[in-house]
Structure 1
Amino acid sequence: MAIKKYRKGKIKQKHSRIKNLDNFLEKFIEPIESVNLITPGAIKVGKGRGENLRVTYGREILQGASQMLIGCKLNATSGNSNQEIFVSTNNPEKVKNVINQINKK
């Protein structure tokens, strides 16, 4: 079995993550069975207020001429930091439902 050097479970450890994002991904997104890989993007500075983490569903990701569905994007915001999260899954609707349930609370 190959060693997954830059992965912690399903979460790729390529970039740093905004405050509390790791806990959120481990608790809510990683347990979804259809999720294969979670890749946080680079952190960008935006115009935000507050320190609470807020994660929203972005869009589905299609690839190739046949427009094959390969995953979805999530957007995380904490304070004035923004970060995109790429989720590799064959069922982005499950991810969307989890995010919507969390945001209703």
Structure 2
Amino acid sequence: YGELGKSEYTKGIMNDIFHEIFETMHKAGYSTHYQSAQGYIDVFYSKLLPSTGEHRSSMLQDIQAKRRTEIDALNGAVVELAKQHNVKTPVNEVITSLIKFIEGGYL
């Protein structure tokens, strides 16, 4: 995980994902102890991500083992909830589609 925070490209993707999640949560009436996406992002990069540099996510492990991932329960769930509340989630949609493409054995 931690390596993802070293690239401006992946940071941009992650930031967009977080903003889409927070907008979806807000529109759906959910809350968290983080007041905003930016508040979470600040904690994510300063406290949560640094210690995970050598971690391999369960999704990566599933992909490497050619197993189905939990994408539908993560980004896919955000996409579905967002649709119910007319929130656009283009980054979560693309991430979900790309993982499903990989799961299908196309890559």
Indicate whether the TM-score tops 0.5.
no
> Could you say which structure has the higher helix fraction?
2
User: What is the TM-score when the length of structure 2 is the normalising length?
Assistant: 0.29
